[in-house]
Chains A and B, each alone.
Chain A
Amino acid sequence: MLVLTRKLGENVVIGDEISVKVVNIENNKVQLGIHAPSSVTIYRQELIDKVRQQNKSSVILHKSEIRDAAVQLKNILNHKN
């Protein structure tokens, strides 16, 4: 990991198209302003971790595991109609 020290208002340029600026520092929180092409996704780490964790708990080993859920869902959908 590259660790750089920046002061308020200073910038870091990554590759040709991405830059990160320290916009505000307050109460132990750092506000970052990020310029990047729209093709580059930018997410808070915790968000990615949450989705990763959820994906991992969703792996099913056999299709029959879904039987009860399918029955429940069909009931719910029938009630709606």
Chain B
Amino acid sequence: MKVVTRQFGELEVSEEQVIHFPKGIIGFEDCRNFIIVNDEDFEPFRWLISLDKKEIGFPVLDPFLVTEKFIKEFPRKVVQELRNERALMDVFCIVTLKGERGSVTMNLKGPILIDYNKREGRQIILTSEDLSVSHPIS
């Protein structure tokens, strides 16, 4: 099916690419269907784009490119989910371009978890005080 996105214009998207977020993401609870788009021009950044509201799209990044201690802060249940061999999961963080003094930051406190088998996603909150919603990338 064809979808029109603000970020990429028109895209051809298959049913299998649609990821359902039962609770949306925080602040955008009515955005329940997303796609994850790779971007050859700007990798390693990828995009989490809403199919429900075409102006809603977020740049996302693999947090492990920038920080190693991140996984230690995950709740045990989530680590179990991620380590399950039969699972096909992804973790990424939303990037903010308009940080303080023009900095580019990543939200380590609210990562996005994707289960590709179930084609479901959710945003979780990590309560550790060591993690910031605006962890600098550059």
Specify which chain A residues have a CB less than 8 angstroms from the CB of B44 in the assembled complex. 73, 77
Interface bits B93-135 vs A (CB < 8 Å: 1, else 0): 0111110000010010110000000000001110100000110
A14 at the interface (CB under 8 A from B): no
B41 at the interface (CB under 8 A from A): yes
Task: Give the secondary structure class of B's interface.
Answer: loop
Specify which chain A residues have a CB less than 8 angstroms from the CB of B28 in the assembled complex. 55
| Interface members, chain A 10-65 (any B CB < 8 Å) | 38, 41, 43, 47-48, 50-63, 65
Q: For residue B127, give the distance in angstroms from its CB to the closest CB of chain A.
A: 7
Complex Cα spacing A70 to B136, Å: 14
Interface size class of B (residues with CB under 8 A): 35 or more
Asked whether B8 lies within 8 Å of A51 as measured between CB atoms, the reply is no
Complex Cα spacing A70 to B61, Å: 10
B14 at the interface (CB under 8 A from A): no
Interface bits B24-62 vs A (CB < 8 Å: 1, else 0): 011110000000000101111101000000011111010
Complex Cα spacing A3 to B70, Å: 39
Q: A residues engaging B (CB < 8 A)?
A: 38, 41, 43, 47-48, 50-63, 65-67, 69-70, 72-73, 76-77
